[in-house]
Amino acid sequence: MNLTKHLAGVMIASTCLCVPALAQTKLTLWYHGAGNEVESRTLNQIISDFNTSQSDWTVSIESFPEKSYNDSVAAAALAGNLPDILDVDGPIMPNWAWAGYLQPLPIDESEFADFLPGTKGVWNGKLYSVGLWDAAVALFARQSTLDELGLRTPTVDKPWSSEEFMAALDAAKASGKYEFALDLGMNDQAEWYSYAFSPFLQSFGGDIVDRSTYRTAEGALNGEAAQAFGKWWQSLFTGGYAPGTSEDPADQQTGFIDGKFAFQWNGNWRAVATMAAVDDVVFLPAPDFGAGNKIGAGSWQFGISAKSKHPEGAAAFIKFAAQDKYLAAFSDGIGLIPPTPSAAQMTKNYKDGGPLAMFFDLSKAQALVRPVTPGYVVQAKVFTKALADIANGADVADTLDAAVDEIDADIESNGGYGHR
Amino acid sequence: MAFDPDNYGLRLFVRYLVLCLIALIFIFPLVFMINSSFKPDNQLLADTSSLRAFLPVGDISLDNYFGAFRRAPVALFVLNSVLVTGATVLLSLLICSLAAFSFAFLRWKGRDVVLSIVIATLIIPFETIAIPLLLLVSKLPWIGLEGLQWGWLNTYRVQIIPWIADGLTIFLFVQYFKGLPGELIEAGRVEGASWWQVYYRIVMPLSGPVLATAAILKFLVMYNQYLWPLIVVQQENYRPIMVGLGYFFQLNVAWGEVMAYLTLITVPVLIFYLFLQRAFIASIASTGVKG
């Protein structure tokens, strides 16, 4: 009898002791940053803090190389093997939502009210993803170059006009001091073209696709404004202002620092390294070609997989990760823009008076997200090819018309991607 | 001095000069890779515009190698690739040679049709069957130490089993087996040997060249696997070297570490090849395979 009582007591006690462990539900998170030591360290710290901060959920991370991450996710979606929390590149998000990889976040958008617009992934009126940083592009220059060439220093409020920008390139070219006046990073024909160059098109008044309906590119990519953009774009290469598509990849990393270029169109992820090598580097806002000065926006964000059985746990993690202290830690670690003004004040680079503070202002004032449509994945590739062809001398009107046809055919073959 | 076409020495000199130039063109990328793996990024990029790119000069150190090991679990990736490649090569030699033995020596109904179908698979690119194969392996059962499991994703077996048998290897063995003296096989059978004994006591001991060729070709395919492991492996523990290369391509590419990683995964293969060079060339010549 006593033995039975003892056994029963042990069983009850062990069952009670097991309750907290059983209550912890495991969530999986896939991340694109395998090999990025700083990013991984920060994210692992967030996960560790989250796991110890509560007893309901435990997050485990699986990191993937960035270059192959999207393919891995697409394959896993096919095989029904998606995790709970997915890392997604901002412009790709609508495609993944449309394809059924993601579900809307069960978090009120007002919780991210002070986040930069580019860090919020909204599609079809629903919030699908939130980013812990944003990126921005600027015109890298030396103050000494501006002074020598007698150029006005443009500001966010008063950027260079089209004429001022071309006059600056002419002056740099005429000085004979540079191999090229401007480096655009033309060798990188991946997402860079649509991210970095479509804002030029938008500043001319065109776009990759007609955003009012997202059902056609007609008029947006081959209208009058787009034709003007195309001719200007081609003139950069025929006029000898910028190296073309066969540019040495090494030049995008060291060409400006080595003094081969007077100006460089580059992202803020190169800003810290450039500041270390160039004492008087200045980051200038995009020129205004007539329809306002624009730059791209939208970087990697966290969303919840459509297959997740625990969206509330995944949402709890995303909210936890979006605390200012973590946003600031990411920014200090990898040099990208913190999404909130309060987090910016906690960073060394983006606080008021910080060396990169202007990027935060740029993101706020000039940023325009890439077309928010599932078709963007194809449209970006078509746009990239068209710009490369035009840079290589193809007829502007014919190339843009062909690009429009290709984009429209893709939209049609996908039933309009859900846009009505 | 006029060029004399009958001058044997001169012709030999010109021939070797041309061959040396061609050899240099092929060896330059390797020399560049190995030398660059010892240089810091800024020097590596600056040297690309001069012959210094091919010389171990400047700020030379092993920093890139330490950096590569810090950035990625290099040893794990190499181990995974060696394990998957080794297992696939061994199983492939066994299974494909057995299949070829059946096609070459056994008489069975439909043999020629089946062989034609097997050979026809040579023209199907892997990319066209990758997705259906992915769907298949993601639902296959497996009985292991943990009992019955469904789905092969994130395992070694998913990287090995689909690659064991292939049309090219079977075709190589069939062609080679058909060239063996029929009298040997007949003599074995007359002496009372079973087909299995004919296979491993007579045919396989005579198949050194084709075994070497098949092993090397399969090794190259498996060691360079990228697309298949990319879509069937989502866990770092099972990732092979080629997928691991992606760890080094961040927004700011660490080129020195890329070169160090490439050297680490290439040099062992080169050494392996140098040891087997003679056998490889002999086997290629005897089987008539062209790369």
- Specify which residues A102 forms β-bridges with: A305
What sign for the dihedral angle of Cα A268, A274, A280, A286?
negative
C-alpha to C-alpha distances, A78 to A94, B133, B135, nearest whole angstrom = 18, 11, 7
Residue A207 within any structural domain of the chain? yes
CATH code, domain with A347? 3.40.190.10
Residue B270: the pLDDT is: 86
Q: Kindly state whether residues A290 and A213 are assigned to the same domain.
A: yes
Determine the Cα–Cα distance for residues B275 and B280; give it in Å rounded to an integer.
10
Contacts of B36 in chain A (CB under 8 A): none
Could you tell me if residue A15 is inside a domain?
no
How far apart are the C-alpha atoms of A295 and A369, rounded to whole Å? 8
- pTM of the complete model beyond 0.80: yes
Residues A302 and A289 in one domain: no
- Residues A150, A130 share a domain: no
Q: Does B135 touch chain A (CB under 8 A)?
A: yes
B261 has a chain A CB within 8 A of its CB: no
DSSP string, A33-93: -TT-HHHHHHHHHHHHHHHHH-SSEEEEEEE--HHHHHHHHHHHHHTT---SEEEEEGGGH
Q: Is A16 a member of any domain?
A: no
The answer as to whether A12 is a domain residue is no
pLDDT at A167: 98
Nearest-CA distance B289 → chain A (Å): 33
Class of domain B62-287: mainly alpha
Nearest-Cα residue of chain B relative to residue A39: B250
Q: Report the share of chain B in percent with pLDDT over 90.
A: 78
Do A380 and A248 share a structural domain?
yes
Answer whether residue A335 is part of any domain.
Answer: yes
Residues A265 and A320 in one domain: no
Q: CA B238 to CA B241: how far, in whole Å?
A: 10
Between A252 and B147, residue with greater pLDDT: B147
Q: Which of B263, B267, B249 is nearest to B71 (CA)?
A: B249
A330 and A183 part of one domain: no
pLDDT of residue B5: 66
Kindly state whether residues A250 and A399 are assigned to the same domain.
Answer: yes
pLDDT for res A84: 97
Q: Which residues of A touch B42 (CB under 8 A)?
A: 254
Which residues from A are below 8 Å from B230, CB to CB? Answer: 68, 71-72, 75
Nearest CA-CA distance, residue B141 and chain A, Å: 14
Coil/strand/helix, residue B189: helix
Instruction: Please give the pLDDT value at position B167.
Output: 96
The whole-angstrom distance between B61's CA and the closest CA on chain A is 21
Tell me what the pLDDT averaged over chain B comes to.
91
What is residue B284's predicted lDDT score, i.e. its pLDDT?
A: 65
In whole angstroms, give the CA distance from residue A189 to residue A195: 11
Please list the rounded mean pLDDT of every run of 10 residues in chain A (420 residues): 52 47 83 91 96 96 93 94 96 96 96 94 95 94 97 94 98 97 91 95 98 97 98 98 90 90 94 92 96 92 96 97 96 92 95 91 88 96 97 98 98 93
Number of compact structural domains in chain A: 2
Determine what percent of chain A falls in helix, strand and coil, rounding each to the nearest 5: 50, 15, 35
Roughly what angle, to the nearest 10 degrees, separates helices B255-287 and B74-105? 20
Residue identified by tokens 């009126």 is A125
Geometric angle at alpha carbon B34, from B32 and B35, rounded to 5°: 65
pLDDT in tens, B53-99: 999 999 999 999 999 999 999 999 999 999 999 999 999 999 999 99
Q: Considering the domain boundaries, does residue A14 fall inside one?
A: no
Specify if A20 maps to a domain. no
pLDDT in tens, B201-221: 999 999 988 998 899 899 999
Contact A185, A277 (CB under 8 A): no
Reading the block at residue A379, the tokens are: 């449209």
Q: Would you say residue B251 has pLDDT above 80?
A: no
Which residue among A352, A369, A386 closes a domain? A369
The answer to whether the Cβ–Cβ distance between A81 and B248 falls below 8 Å is: no
The residue range of the domain holding A391 is 137-295+375-418
Note whether residue A6 is domain-resident.
Answer: no
CB contact under 8 A, B134 and A75: yes
Q: Do A151 and A290 sit in the same domain of this protein?
A: yes
Q: Which residue of B has its CA nearest to A62?
A: B235
From chain A, the residues in CB contact with B159 under 8 A are none
Residues A149 and A183 both lie in one domain: yes
Q: Do A94 and A188 fall into the same domain?
A: no
Which of A353, A369, A385 delimits the end of a domain? A369
Q: Which residues of A touch B46 (CB under 8 A)?
A: 250, 254, 258
For residues A104 and A228, state if they share a domain. Answer: no
Which pLDDT value is given to residue A107?
A: 95
Q: B246, A67: Cβ pair inside 8 Å?
A: yes
